[in-house]
């Protein structure tokens, strides 16, 4: 139960309202370091809204998103940062970020939270390899000193460029796409494009990887490959994963921890065995006894 003993992300009383729509209401949960945490729930439950708050696409209406990048954050430390106007502080345990105070590019670059989207967002005209090099743009820009050093191909830039190619090659090998490195990304089958997106996110060396419905539209073989990849990301790289997913076989197979939302509120939270048998979850997915509409229809 690392989500209790070593939380990486602590979502504290998060609410997000759009006018009169309460997409997320007073949501609290933690995501454990090196855990795969799944956020599930019927359509319209508020899952993507939570992702958008964590990754800085939305500014929450209220609530705190404390991210302890390296180690266990002391509650007193988080409280002290919250009282101050700061977004980030370096504590004895490591860097602590308050994500709700940060713009999306800082969340990606400084806190090192990466994400993928429900719809594929690759550069389809670029090659498979180029997609992974572009993901490392920030590292390469820093190596160029934000000047024409890169264009001149001076040694520090060349070294970083070679490292970027090495990282990209490594991930292409991991997802079995090295033979297609020089093909346009748009020519890949759908399942390969999905895995390439995840590899692209991994090239930024994230501490937390947020995946929005990675198994959507995959056939059983592709789902099995995805499952293997996500377990390798957790087990071999120590990267924590936060996952929105409707495919329950994927969720139940790989999740260390599951948080269930319905109509913007948390209805269950625990290990997969607990959540699978929770009457609240069964009612949300199948409809409350005596109510012949499903939660999806009600949403």
- Interface positions with ligand ATP (CB under 6 A): 18, 21, 23, 41, 43-49
Q: Are 37 and 6 in contact (CB under 8 A)?
A: no
Where are the alpha helices (H) located in the chain, listed in sequence order? 2-5, 47-54, 75-83, 104-106, 128-134, 137-143, 149-152, 155-174, 190-202, 220-237, 248-254, 272-276, 279-286, 295-298
Question: Which CB sits closer to ligand ATP, 48 or 204?
Answer: 48
Question: Which CB sits closer to ligand ATP, 53 or 98?
Answer: 53
Backbone angles phi, psi at 120, to 5 degrees: -70, 135
Q: What gap in Å lies between CA 262 and CA 286, rounded to an integer? A: 12
Q: Are 60 and 98 in contact (CB under 8 A)?
A: no
- Least distance to ligand ATP from the beta carbon of 230, Å? 19
Question: Which CB sits closer to ligand ATP, 118 or 138?
Answer: 118
- Least distance to ligand ATP from the beta carbon of 46, Å? 4
Question: Which CB sits closer to ligand ATP, 172 or 260?
Answer: 260
DSSP letter for 119, please. Answer: S
Question: Which CB sits closer to ligand ATP, 23 or 196?
Answer: 23
- Least distance to ligand ATP from the beta carbon of 3, Å? 20
Structure tokens at 34: 């090196």
- Least distance to ligand ATP from the beta carbon of 22, Å? 8
- Least distance to ligand ATP from the beta carbon of 40, Å? 9
Q: What gap in Å lies between CA 72 and CA 75, rounded to an integer? A: 9
- Least distance to ligand ATP from the beta carbon of 194, Å? 16
Question: Which CB sits closer to ligand ATP, 19 or 155?
Answer: 19
Question: Which CB sits closer to ligand ATP, 18 or 105?
Answer: 18
Helix (H, G, I), strand (E, B), or coil: what is residue 250?
helix
- Least distance to ligand ATP from the beta carbon of 21, Å? 5
Q: Print burial letters for 60-87: b (CB count within 10 Å at least 16), e (below 16).
A: bbebbbbbbbeeebeeebbeebeeeeeb
């Amino acid at each position: 139960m690392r989500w209790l003993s070593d939380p990486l992300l602590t979502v504290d009383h998060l609410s997000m309202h759009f006018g009169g729509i309460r997409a997320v209401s007073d949501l609290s949960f933690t995501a454990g370091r090196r855990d795969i945490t799944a956020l599930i729930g019927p359509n319209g439950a508020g899952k993507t809204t939570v992702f958008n708050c964590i990754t800085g696409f939305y500014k929450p209406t209220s609530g705190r998103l404390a991210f302890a990048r390296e180690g266990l954050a002391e509650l007193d430390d988080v409280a002290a940062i919250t009282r101050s106007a700061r977004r980030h502080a370096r504590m004895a345990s490591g860097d602590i970020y308050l994500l709700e105070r940060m713009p999306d590019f800082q969340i990606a670059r400084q806190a090192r939270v990466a994400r993928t989207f429900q719809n594929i967002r690759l550069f389809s005209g670029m090659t498979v390899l180029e997609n992974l090099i572009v993901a490392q743009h920030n590292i390469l820009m820093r190596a160029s000193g934000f000047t024409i050093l890169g264009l001149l191909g001076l040694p520090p830039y060349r070294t970083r460029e070679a490292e970027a190619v090495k990282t990209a090659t490594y991930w292409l090998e991991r997802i079995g796409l090295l033979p297609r490195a020089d093909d346009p990304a748009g020519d890949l089958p759908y399942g390969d494009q999905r895995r390439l997106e995840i590899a692209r996110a991994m090239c930024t060396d994230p501490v937390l990887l947020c995946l929005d419905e990675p198994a959507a539209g995959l056939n059983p073989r592709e789902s099995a490959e995805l499952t293997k990849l996500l377990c390798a990301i957790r087990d071999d790289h120590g990267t924590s994963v936060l996952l929105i997913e409707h495919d329950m076989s994927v969720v139940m197979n790989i999740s260390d921890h599951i948080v269930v939302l319905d109509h913007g509120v948390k209805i269950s939270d625990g290990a997969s065995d607990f959540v699978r048998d929770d009457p609240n979850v069964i009612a949300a997915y199948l409809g409350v006894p005596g109510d012949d509409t499903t939660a999806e229809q009600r949403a």
